[in-house]
Chain A
Amino acid sequence: MTLLKALFYFFREAALNMARGWRVSLLAVLTIAVSLFVGGVFLLVSGNLAQVVESWRSEARIVVYMKNAASAEDQARTHDEAAKGPAVTDVKTIDAAAARQHFRELFPSLGDLVEGWSEDPLPPSLEIAFDPTRSDNGAFEAWTARLRALPAVAMVDDDRDWLRQLENLIAVVRGVGLALGAVLLGAAMFTIGSVIRLTAYLYSEEIGILRLVGGTEFYIRGPFYVEGLLQGLVGSMLAVGGLAATFAFVRPQAPSSVLAWIVARAFLPWRVVLFLLVLGAAAGLIGAVMSLRREALGALEE
């Protein structure tokens, strides 16, 4: 019997076994589907969050707020120092009047807050644009430290600080997701293993008979292994289908919901989808192999 025919036989037998014992198979399929769905949701959320952060990073600015009492000379020196930054692409000066105007535009209902003060509540500032790909180095950090130390500078607001915090949060989300996914996947493997072991136990008499009539271990075990693999594959396909359906449901709400806008920017890349499918199939197969190890010992004792 050629390998191709053997595989055809395995798949046919496995499909028959699954159809005849569909309730038990369904349990294994659903367990792996839920595990991969949860893991996939975390991947989807963290992937989209990472995209958001990346887009924000490209728009990140360093804003240098001047002291109200700073002299024009000090302000000019600060501007020169800002322009000398290693990755700086643009330095825009915003005087107190422009800052007030900008505030009114951003918060029209709070416009009165910036009127009637003895001195300007919004100090003049420098808005520094830079190339984010060249900003993570010692020279850039030393330059921001020099800016902070200048006598005319009241405060330096670096967008990268909160972006870093957001990135840490994403890493935590991704880590928790992967850990949870791994635990659930382990549980799924255990369930599939138990299902296969239960099947093997239920059919131990059948396995014994197949041995007696001339079946080799290859042909006896093959259908069980393929059964595990198919259960895993069907489970992962259900998980991917569930993720796609969830994405399709959430995406139209993006214009009105910040959360939807953040998590439903793009679906999982095809490589990740493929990974989930392979992971599901592999989990099913490993579960089946592990569960039949005890059977193997039984065969040795025969």
Chain B
Amino acid sequence: MIQFFHVGKNFPGGQVGLDDVSFEIARGEMVFITGASGAGKTTLLKLIFREDSPSHGQIVVNGRNVSSLPRGKIPFLRRTIGVVFQDFRLIPRKTVFENVTYLPRILGMEKELQRRLAYETLRRVGLAHRLNAFPPQLSGGEKQRVAIARALINDPEILLADEPTGNLDPDLSREILDLFVDLNLRGTTVLLATHDRVLIERLGRRVLTLERGLLIQDRPRSNLPEAPPLLREVHEVEEVAEEPPNGAVHSDEDQR
């Protein structure tokens, strides 16, 4: 489904984003990408949906060589990939409904169908009541969930999420992870970039670990249990730890 062949990414100034990274992710897999800040997690995700191009190497997504994809075909690649951005990337002057339904709208879906789909998707992330709100009126957690709803609405083949629980409180993090697991069980290939070790360990999925652009570990899926019961365990672990996991920093806004 996703193949990296000796992929490297160098930024202007000589900074190395990725260095000779090779791996393969099969259809229907759920994979965590982890590493410290600046390790290359976001860069790796950006290369998959061609927000950025590799300096060298080849990337194949769903049978298409993304590295050499003509510019005009990039939007069609992106329509098969749902992306949850770390900084949400919502359009401030559009309502939640308009943000979430952009793709169905340009694909010519009937308005009633759009509304139903948006309602259903927003209900899954617990935001059906905020359909007509504008992003500046939402808390960080709500924005995150709108971004997730936007990524899910087109029922993508691949879901990429960059620190998707970074702005959410523990309860909501669990719900969102439930959502990703559920989506994965339905056949969607899911890639989650996070440095939340607790979630990674407890879910027992395959983990790619990056360090300064190098893929230093490709740990296969363990036989640990998964899905909702596990997520309750995560909650318990967090409570025992008496401090929020890395990245789960809550602003005052999140408390709204």
Contact = CB atoms under 8 A, between A and B. Distances in A.
Given A1-B108, A5-B108, A206-B93, A213 B71 contact: no
Instruction: Give the contact-size bracket for chain B.
Output: 20 to 34
B103 interface: yes
Given A214-B76, A215-B75, A302-B71, A209 B89 contact: yes
Nearest to A8: B108
A144 B51 CA distance: 83
Contacts of B94: 206
Contact of A215 (B71, B89, B106, B108): B106
Interface in A1-37: 1-2, 5-6, 9, 20
A24 to B, nearest CB: 12
Q: Give the residue among B90, B92, B106 with the most A Cβ atoms within 10 A.
A: B106
A210 interface: yes
Contacts of B92: 206
B102 interface: yes
B79 interface: yes
A297 interface: no
Given A20-B93, A206-B93, A214 B78 contact: yes
A211 interface: yes
Interface in B69-84: 71-72, 75-76, 78-79, 83
Nearest to B151: A213
Nearest to B153: A213
Contacts of B71: 299-300, 302
A182 B177 CA distance: 62
Given A2-B108, A300-B71, A210 B83 contact: no
B105 interface: yes
Interface residues of A, number: 20
Given A20-B93, A206-B93, A302-B71, A213 B108 contact: no
A203 B108 CA distance: 23
B224 interface: no
B174 interface: no
Nearest to A222: B106
B49 interface: yes
Contact of A1 (B72, B76, B102, B106): B106
B107 A1 contact: yes
A299 B74 CA distance: 12
A102 B6 CA distance: 108
B89 A212 contact: yes
Contacts of B107: 1
A143 interface: no
Given A213-B78, A300-B71, 9 more contacts: A1-B106, A6-B108, A212-B49, A212-B51, A212-B85, A213-B102, A213-B103, A214-B103, A219-B106
19 contacts: A1-B106, A1-B107, A6-B108, A9-B105, A20-B93, A209-B90, A209-B91, A212-B49, A212-B78, A212-B89, A213-B78, A213-B102, A213-B103, A214-B76, A214-B78, A214-B79, A216-B72, A300-B71, A302-B71
